[in-house]
A and B are shown apart, each in its own frame.
Chain A
Amino acid sequence: MMFPRLVYESFRHQTRRKLLAGIAITLGVAVATAMIAVATDIGDKINRELRSYGANLVVTPQEDTLDVEVGGINLKPPSDGTFLNETDLPKIRGTFWHHNIVGFSPMLPVTVKVAGSRLPAGSSQDVTLVGTYFNKPLRFGKEDFTTGVRITHPWWKVSCGDGKESPNCAWPEDNSQNVLLGERLATKVQRKAGDTIEVSGHQLTVSGILSTGGVEDDQIVAPLALAQEILGKPGAVRRVFVSAMTKPPDALSARDPKTMTPEVYDRWYCSPYAESIAYQLQEVIPHSHAEQIRQVAQNEGTVLSRIKGLMLLITFAALLASALAVSAAMATAIYERRVEVGLMKALGAGSLAVSAIFFAEALLLAIVGGIVGFSAGALLAHEIGRSIFNSQISIEPVLFPIIIAIAVVVTFAGSASAIRRAVKFDPVFALRGDG
């Protein structure tokens, strides 16, 4: 009966000291929780940000012919080669790693004649028109989703031709006869948003001017259906760009699936490597060949591992600092109570009993501070995720007991040496008031 009362009275009468130690533990745990949450989630978050580099996989027909393209102008005969079937595309959502596939965009380049009354000598000019999805609603099974270049090519910008965005100049609808004109081509043929342009006998409306900093600046970008109509091949797709979140390559990823044992194959198949996602794309799209775009895919791993490593080291620094703060606060709180120890010992309490009281108090503080700190840390991590990445940083519930256990251990460790000193302290000095 005596023991709980001692602890209770200690908390009731020494509110200030308990509060100081409690605040230190709470803040320490909060920082530790937030940092662990951010560090464990940072890989996923940065992986998503790395998707702003665009597609990292490309699917082409198995028997594809060579691209003969210089500076964005396709020199290949228009109907040359084989095509993928557009109706196979939604199956991409049915692959094992479909949650990792951020989006995909089909491409169908067609060489067209742009009749330009304003072109030199009234001639027409060969221009590449690329048919694609802009933000196309699709359905796979029971799942509705949208995909297209607005997701896979986030650096594409549409303006009225003066670099400014405006409601009049917008992305074309996927089922319209409207097109985007690359900005260099637009200057060449002197067209701006709202004008019409004659392309291989079709009168098309320019809904906006496209700026990409790449070859598309010299091209026309149109809805896929329109490009198929001009080419006269309904349902045809030349290639599909797929943007997927992948795991950095390692020793397993580079191996050939044909030489693997069944267990290794399962492990390879069920890891989101660029190689295994490409393999699965090939499975769902008939007669296709999927490959990683090495410029994007190969560099992601390095950037990702650098940022993850950095966060890991900083998390260690945060944990160290929190542990020190908690230890320091506990040591201070106990050091101040030597008189009490002296009194207890003078009344016949053994070292063990005195230590037990202190440890019980520390345990109580650690648990209360741990719970409050964990909630505060979760909130903090949530805020960091929302303000920096515009998405949630979720805390694994399994972290909770781990964090509480760490808080208790650190609090005990921080108290231990102070308790030992307090217990060793001669009661005579303490009671005389020399403490």
Chain B
Amino acid sequence: MSPAVETLLTPSQVSDRRALAAHHAPSVSMFGRMLLRAAVLRRRRAASGLLAMIVAAAVATAMMNLYVDVQAKLRTEFRNYGANVVIVAKDGQSLPVDALDRVKSVLGAKTLAVPFSYAVARTRDGRSLVVVGTDFDRARRLNHWWKVSRWPGAPGEALVGMRAANAVTAKADARQPFELTFQGKAIKLAPAGLLQTGAGEDSRIYLDQSEFENWTGLAPSTIEVAANGTAAEVDASIRKLGELLPTAEVRPVRQIMEGEANVLNKTRATLYASATLVVLTSALCVLATLIGWVFDRRRDFAIMKALGASERLINGFFAAEAAALGVVGAILGFFVGIGAAAWIGRVNFHAPVVPRFGVFPYVLAGSVAVALISAILPMVLLRRVQPAIILRGE
């Protein structure tokens, strides 16, 4: 590629430009041709400008996608801490039979809600301990941190807390059945496995809710719920549940809710700061590339001016060129960015980040704005220079 070709115009182009200047009415086809020729003839520099634009748009897209999605992803992680809402029957009252269904009607069918019922039973040697009836399948999904050697499967099997095991069996891991009595009624249970949590659960014995109810006649008094959503959404759910279950007290687990809010806020702020920095840097990258590009073309600028093109036409030309670059870069970069965000989601959260097409207008507007700024900045500097000086090569 000879550099001479880049700036010299063919005779027909020159006459075109004269005609154009005489009419003071730029024809659309001419304008488009100029834009196209500029891109084709300086494809190397145009390509590097476009590349910078694509990278910037991609980074911005990925950051915005992550910023929105990571919070949702982290909330899911935080649900591993267990229930954030507890429903407890008020004194002397019990939960309605369909309480679980009512909870699901408010929070959605996928919400994890686990019933618990409590009774104090006696061992054969007269020691009292707490027996809990629950739904093992759900408790297992709610309380990921429970360390269980084996979950009960067969009827008559119980999950025995680490410390409760010492009270009911001779040796800690003996599998021999034991007997408990509640208000004179005895039940024989086989330990399925040991439960270790480091908290109150270690002193309890868990059995299946239906067996528990047959034995003690007690219905669930507590429902632990892992409610998804933002703090405001959870608050709204708590209010709704309170109205729906008048015999119960619905309260947030403050330890979980506040810990989550705290960590999430800090993470969000850090993410925001980093995303801003990254987007600014990539905008800088575009500026550096495009300013150089426009400066480099001061000869084109001078020739156009010498041939009588109006200031408006020249500005329009460079602006249109920059805008076109911005638009193309934004579109290509958007898809690259979506891909990058999805990849980060898979690598870090083992779940894809949902593409958010809502961020596209922002990416587009930002790209065009940065491109225009990088075109206008050198234009302002060049406007003061006489075309002759530029063309003389100084």
A contact set with B: CB distance below 8 Å: 20-21, 24, 27-28, 31, 34-35, 38, 42, 45-46, 49-50, 52-54, 57-58, 64, 66-71, 75-76, 153-155, 157, 211-214, 291-299, 302-303, 306-307, 309-311, 313-315, 317-318, 320-322, 324-325, 328-329, 331-333, 335-336, 339, 380, 384, 387-389, 429, 433-435
Contact = CB atoms under 8 A, between A and B. Distances in A.
Nearest to B340: A317
7 contacts: A214-B253, A294-B199, A324-B285, A329-B288, A332-B291, A336-B292, A434-B7
B74 A303 contact: yes
A64 B203 CA distance: 10
B332 interface: no
B81 A24 contact: no
Given A66-B127, A324-B52, A332-B289, A53 B163 contact: no
A318 B270 CA distance: 14
A212 B259 CA distance: 13
A388 B270 contact: yes
Contacts of B258: 52, 154-155
Contacts of A46: 263, 266-267
Interface string B266-289: 110111011101101110110011
A294 B275 CA distance: 34
A298 B252 CA distance: 22
A53 B259 contact: yes
A70 B284 contact: no
B80 A302 contact: yes
B247 interface: no
B163 A64 contact: yes
Contact of A294 (B55, B146, B273): B146
Nearest to B253: A213
Contacts of A380: 277
Nearest to A433: B393
B74 A314 contact: no
Given A212-B254, A309-B348, A384-B273, A31 B266 contact: no
Contacts of B293: 332
A34 B278 CA distance: 11
Interface in B338-357: 340, 344, 347-349
Interface residues of B, number: 83
Given A75-B120, A295-B199, A49 B254 contact: no
Contacts of B270: 38, 42, 311, 384, 388
Nearest to A339: B393
B3 interface: yes
Contacts of B163: 64, 66-67
B318 interface: no
A293 B203 CA distance: 14
A336 B295 contact: yes
Nearest to A430: B3
A336 B118 CA distance: 81
B253 to A, nearest CB: 6
Nearest to A58: B198
B277 A34 contact: yes
B352 to A, nearest CB: 15
A393 to B, nearest CB: 10
Contacts of A66: 127, 129, 163-164, 167, 203
B105 interface: no
* Residue of A28, A309, A314, A433 with most chain B CB atoms under a 10 A cut-off: A314
B171 interface: no
Given A52-B259, A317-B59, A388-B269, A335 B129 contact: no
Nearest to A21: B288
A47 to B, nearest CB: 10
Contact of A70 (B2, B66, B130, B348): B130
B269 A429 contact: no
B62 interface: yes
A35 B274 contact: yes
Nearest to A274: B198
B198 A293 contact: yes
A256 to B, nearest CB: 14
Contacts of B277: 31, 34-35, 318, 380
B256 interface: yes
Given A66-B164, A303-B77, A313 B281 contact: no
B251 interface: yes
Nearest to B199: A293
Contacts of B347: 309, 313
Given A45-B266, A53-B255, A321 B278 contact: yes
B144 interface: yes
Interface string B114-156: 0000101000000111100000000000011111000000000
Contacts of A295: 81-82, 143, 145, 197-199
B288 A332 contact: yes
Given A58-B198, A310-B271, A298 B255 contact: no
Contacts of B267: 46, 307
A434 B259 contact: no
Most chain A CB within a 10 A radius of its CB, from B7, B262, B340: B262
Interface string B322-365: 00000000000000000010001001110000000000000000
B281 A213 contact: no
Contacts of A310: 66, 70, 271, 344, 348
B297 to A, nearest CB: 11
Given A27-B281, A299-B81, A318-B278, A328 B52 contact: yes
Contacts of B253: 213-214
B13 interface: no
A213 B254 contact: yes
A71 to B, nearest CB: 7
The 3 A-B residue pairs with the shortest CB-CB distance in the complex, in nearest-first order: A332-B292, A213-B254, A433-B393
A333 B253 CA distance: 60
A75 B128 contact: yes
Nearest to B91: A188
Contact of A214 (B74, B254, B266, B393): B254
B129 A68 contact: yes
Given A68-B129, A321-B55, A328-B48, A27 B284 contact: yes
A328 B288 contact: yes
Contacts of A435: 3, 393
Q: Which of A35, A155, A310, A331 has the most CB of B within 10 A?
A: A310
A31 B274 CA distance: 9
A306 B348 contact: yes
B7 to A, nearest CB: 7
A57 to B, nearest CB: 8
